[in-house]
Amino acid sequence: MHVFERITTLHDFLETKGKQKNTIGFVPTMGALHEGHLALMRRAKAENDILVVSIFVNPLQFNNPDDLLRYPRTIENDLKLLETIPCDVVFMPSTDEMYPTPETTVYDFGKLEQVMEGAFRKGHFNGVAIVVRKLFEIVKPNKAYFGEKDFQQLAIIQKMVQDHNIPIEIVSCDIVREADGLAMSSRNVRLNETERAIAPQIFKTLTDAALKKQELSPESMREYAEKQLKKIDLFDVEYVEIADETQLQRLKNWEDTDHARIFVALQLGNVRLIDNLRIF
């Protein structure tokens, strides 16, 4: 496994590999790796000649400075896990390496960024787009792998790739969950015992709500899920939305889309959790 901290050395390495007509599968991460990340990597490894993983906690996508400060960093363990895939190339740049000069790029994702995470985390998706675009330019992968855990992020990246004619295939991967249903997340390690015990209620509520499609309109289902979550004292619910999977706009009638999804974001103690589920 080759580990690079500098763009130039990574470039040199990948150029040589590229000349041998290898395909590159890329998985961008912020580290604190768990089984959800590893599933993306195994798939990328299986579908390409070379697996490149980046680990970079991107300050530009944190709207809350405390969240950035408290973001878990477990680099030694991450490298051990990456060896097990096995990963071919790890890119772990410093902030100065990624942003030698202040970033001023402003993306416009229209309606897609005006809802849910975009509405509650101002500037978040602009920061995501800036770093992912830069990483794409550095790594030049054939395919890049993203988790549906961050469903809106996936939609934003798809749009960025389309709008800017970036010749990279975006591959979306299923959410990996703990045995009790909690979506895996780097932030889960920050939950205390009580919070961890109650956290699976998020997925349980989403599944219960989704099963009521025959009897409830999208808005009634949304209200039902919100009410269930608000009954739990420790949950500070930010939003519950039911939207179509392409535009991510609030759904009025089930007939308006083939693929609806329920989304939730809430604060549990000082940890912010998100989850979503397709409604069949």
Cβ distance to ligand AMP smaller for residue 220 or 246: 246
Cβ distance to ligand AMP smaller for residue 67 or 223: 67
Residue whose token pair is 């290898």? 22
Q: Active site includes 37?
A: yes
Both tokens assigned to 122? 């101002």
Decide: is 50 part of the binding site for ligand AMP (CB under 6 A). Answer: no
Tell me which residue has its CB nearest to ligand AMP.
147
Decide: is 173 part of the binding site for ligand AMP (CB under 6 A). Answer: yes
Residues in the chain: 280
Helices 201-210 and 218-230, packing angle to 10 deg: 150
Minimum distance of ligand AMP from residue 144's CB (angstroms):
9
Residue whose token pair is 């089930």? 254
Minimum distance of ligand AMP from residue 36's CB (angstroms):
3
Minimum distance of ligand AMP from residue 259's CB (angstroms):
18
91: part of which helix (H) or strand (E)? strand 89-91
Decide: is 175 part of the binding site for ligand AMP (CB under 6 A). Answer: yes
Decide: is 36 part of the binding site for ligand AMP (CB under 6 A). Answer: yes
Q: Which of 98, 139, 155, 176 binds ligand AMP (CB under 6 A)?
A: 176
Q: Mark 107-146 with x for binding to ligand AMP (rule: CB under 6 A) and - for no binding.
A: ---------------------------------------x
Instruction: Report the alpha-carbon distance of residue 72 to residue 68 in Å, rounded.
Output: 9
**Do 37 and 27 contact (CB within 8 A), yes or no?**
yes
Cβ distance to ligand AMP smaller for residue 33 or 221: 33
Minimum distance of ligand AMP from residue 50's CB (angstroms):
18
275: part of which helix (H) or strand (E)? strand 271-279
Minimum distance of ligand AMP from residue 4's CB (angstroms):
18
Sign of CA dihedral 244, 250, 251, 256: negative
Q: Which residues pair with 54 in a beta bridge?
A: 28, 91
Q: Mark 182-221 with x for binding to ligand AMP (rule: CB under 6 A) and - for no binding.
A: -xxxx-----------------------------------
Instruction: Report the alpha-carbon distance of residue 43 to residue 35 in Å, rounded.
Output: 12
Q: Give the three-state DSSP class for 179.
A: coil
**Do 191 and 271 contact (CB within 8 A), yes or no?**
yes
**Do 99 and 58 contact (CB within 8 A), yes or no?**
no
Q: Which residues bind ligand AMP (CB under 6 A)?
A: 29-30, 36-37, 40, 146-147, 149-150, 173, 175-176, 183-186
Q: Which active-site residues does the annotation give?
A: 37
